[in-house]
């Protein structure tokens, strides 16, 4: 007991405990992250889809991402990104990339639905990653109230409380979410495209993601019940607009009054 007590008072004891605590915390985090990460369901794809997807990849994507999607200086490796990332990037037209810039911009898709699925099937074989979401989470029949709370806590700081989008740093931006399909919204949450963080099932549950989708569908269907949206920037922009309009009326009236006097 005396020897143990002396070791406990050793100058390096606190450092040893700190290192052990960090290792334990890191190990637990790695286990939880692995358990909650979505796995690519390659069983849903046929061998023909994988083969056709590989042909499409070599012809259209390998220039930047490399043969076997191992990555190059022009594009990252796609091992482990999952089918959901391909379905989002290709389905929204962001890939193939139109031009270099701060971030890939949405444009008309260059591949049809079957070709997009084939590309997703091929990339899904390269490593575990988020799969294309289950249709039951894409119905838009979740709880809009819960979804609104989740959206304001996790998304509104970039996408705006009304999902109207907003500017980020260095020429980047969070896009407006009106008109985005439910499956692409879900896929963006689980894959984290561009500057968006990844919201795995440990951060937001699948049902929580479905609730967010319902909230976005709801505010999009409601439009702007208060009149002109004014960019959906909130009371500051509305107050500035009103102040500018009233000031313009006052200036106009002053000019009219002085011209009548002369």
What CATH number has the domain bearing residue 60? 1.10.760.10
Cα(98)–Cα(245) distance, integer angstroms: 41
Same domain, 161 and 96: no
Inside any domain, residue 180: yes
Cα(17)–Cα(186) distance, integer angstroms: 41
Inside any domain, residue 120: yes
Taking CA atoms, 90 is separated from 94, 109, 233, 242, 245, in Å, by: 6, 7, 30, 43, 45
Same domain, 56 and 75: yes
In sequence order, the β-bridge partners of residue 166 are 174
Structural domain harbouring 98: 42-124
Taking CA atoms, 197 is separated from 122, 140, 142, in Å, by: 25, 23, 23
Same domain, 180 and 106: no
Across the range 235-262, mean pLDDT stands at 80
**Residue 39 phi, psi (nearest 5):** -105, 140
pLDDT of residue 217: 97
Same domain, 117 and 182: no
Same domain, 118 and 152: no
Name the pTM for this structure. Answer: 0.74
pLDDT of residue 167: 87
Inside any domain, residue 174: yes
* pLDDT tens track for 211-227: 999 999 999 998 776 66
Inside any domain, residue 239: no
Proportion of the chain above pLDDT 90, given as a percent: 60
Coil, strand or helix: which one is 127?
coil
Cα(199)–Cα(180) distance, integer angstroms: 18
Inside any domain, residue 28: no
Inside any domain, residue 10: no
Inside any domain, residue 17: no
Cα(122)–Cα(115) distance, integer angstroms: 11
Inside any domain, residue 235: no
* pLDDT tens track for 139-158: 999 999 999 999 999 999 99
Same domain, 181 and 219: yes
Give the model's confidence band at 129: pLDDT under 50 very low, under 70 low, under 90 confident, else very high.
very high
User: Has residue 138 got a pLDDT over 70?
Assistant: yes
pLDDT of residue 2: 53
Same domain, 118 and 52: yes
Cα(208)–Cα(66) distance, integer angstroms: 36
| Cα-Cα-Cα-Cα dihedral sign, residues 201, 207, 208, 209 | positive
pLDDT of residue 222: 86
* pLDDT tens track for 78-115: 999 999 999 999 999 999 988 888 899 999 999 999 99
* pLDDT tens track for 1-58: 555 555 555 666 676 767 777 778 776 655 544 444 444 455 689 999 999 999 999 9
Same domain, 151 and 107: no
Same domain, 75 and 118: yes
């Amino acid at each position: 007991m005396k020897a143990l007590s002396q070791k406990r008072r050793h100058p390096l004891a606190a450092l040893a405990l700190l290192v052990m605590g960090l290792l334990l915390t890191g190990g637990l985090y790695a286990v939880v992250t692995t358990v909650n990460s979505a796995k690519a369901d390659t069983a849903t794809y046929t061998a023909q889809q994988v083969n056709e997807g590989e042909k499409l990849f070599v012809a259209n994507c390998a220039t930047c991402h490399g043969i076997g999607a191992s990555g190059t200086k022009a594009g990252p490796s796609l091992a482990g990104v999952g089918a959901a990332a391909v379905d989002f990037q290709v389905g929204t037209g962001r890939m193939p990339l139109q031009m270099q810039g701060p971030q890939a911009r949405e444009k008309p898709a260059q591949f049809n639905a079957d070709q997009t699925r084939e590309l997703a099937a091929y990339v899904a074989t390269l490593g575990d990653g988020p799969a294309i979401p289950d249709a039951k989470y894409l119905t838009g029949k979740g709880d809009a109230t819960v979804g609104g709370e989740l959206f304001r806590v996790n998304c509104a700081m970039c996408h705006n409380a009304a999902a109207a989008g907003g500017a980020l740093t260095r020429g980047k931006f969070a896009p407006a979410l009106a008109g985005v399909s439910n499956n692409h919204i879900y896929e963006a949450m689980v894959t984290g495209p561009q500057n968006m963080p990844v919201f795995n099932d440990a951060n937001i549950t699948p049902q929580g993601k479905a609730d967010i989708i319902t909230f976005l569908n709801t505010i999009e269907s409601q439009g702007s019940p208060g009149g002109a949206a004014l960019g959906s920037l909130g009371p500051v922009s509305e107050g500035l607009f009103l102040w500018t309009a009233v000031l313009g009326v006052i200036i106009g009236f002053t000019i009219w009054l002085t011209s009548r006097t002369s």
